[in-house]
Amino acid sequence: MSDALKQDLSQEAEFANMLMIYLLFEQKPELLGAETVKRAAEAKFGEVDAVSEEGELLSYAVKKYTAHFEEGDMPPFVLLGQGLKFDGGEAGALERSQLWDIENGAEVLDSCKYSVMIADMMGGAAMDRKDRCEMLMDWLEAVLALYPDCKAVWVPAGGKLTSPEVMRGGGLPRDQRFIFTCVNARFFNIEGTDGERVVDTLGMYAVGLPDVQLHFRGLDPNAVTDYAYNICIYNYDENAPIASGETIDGLDGGEISREVQWKCRYEDSLIQPRRTVLDIEAGSFAAGVRDNA
């Protein structure tokens, strides 16, 4: 890694009690009226209660879902923050090096000067994880429909920048929208080594699931990236059932094969931010030193 991408594990990733997503714009978008936003929420969720409809921050309680607290149950909120300025320069060199999902990603970040923020609230760990992600992705779809001039969608928790057309097109399976919108698969060449590389994901931690990491040499990085996404989808669907020491299907000729078994273990990530990852030892292609105890 270059000096700009120097390892810094003092940065720690934490569970996101509020998961924030930003719609980015080159020009300042018009402020939406509360009635317009509420109609969009009702069309997506059914019955909602207005929590706040004053000023530029609007919020609604979504009765379709339930958050469980010691004090009792309550519906979670969805939020919409309008009229926000955006500074793409706040994304550091590491984030800018990993914008794989939109053409000229760094230029897009720099060209956008305004944003609209959506988020969830009063849910977090108190909600079923899949319900939470489904609610947030449905809210993103609803709000995107109100902003045809949105240039990109930015998720800081995953360092993920995507085109709004990814969600607008409706081509993503409902249960994979969170992965492909909020989780970024990153790729690093490790300087000073004999072709060592790292592919990891960033963003699963935000909803309490492990990210995925592979430290390897001699494999096609694109195949490894697809593989990492597939493991994230599996962990999301099945609530991360893989235990340390177990093996899972690996890659053979770029395809997942039951004939190839790779060992897994949970450990701290190699690359910032520090978080728990499912490290997958890629058999004869594995790089680095691991504790095989």
Domains of the chain: 21-180 (3.30.310), 183-285 (no CATH)
CB 33 within 8 A of CB 122: no
Judge residue 73's burial from the number of C-beta atoms within 10 Å of its C-beta, 0-12 exposed, 13-18 middle, 19 or more buried: exposed
Average pLDDT, the chain: 93
Other C-beta atoms closer than 10 Å to the C-beta of 277 total 23
CB 128 within 8 A of CB 152: no
- pTM, rounded to two decimals: 0.94
pLDDT over 90 for what percent of the chain?
A: 86
For 283, phi then psi, to 5°, come to 55, -130
Residues 6 or more apart whose CB falls under 8 angstroms from that of 108 comprise: 24, 88, 99, 102, 151, 152, 161
Of the pLDDT bands very low, low, confident and very high (cuts 50, 70, 90), residue 292 is: low
What pLDDT is recorded for position 5?
Answer: 53
Of the pLDDT bands very low, low, confident and very high (cuts 50, 70, 90), residue 3 is: very low
pLDDT digits (tens, 9 = 90+) for 9-48: 788 999 999 999 999 999 999 999 999 999 999 999 999 9
**Does residue 75 have a cis bond before it (omega within 30 degrees)?**
no
Residues 6 or more apart whose CB falls under 8 angstroms from that of 139 comprise: 41, 44, 78, 118, 120
CB 85 within 8 A of CB 27: no
pLDDT digits (tens, 9 = 90+) for 39-66: 999 999 999 999 988 779 999 999 999 9
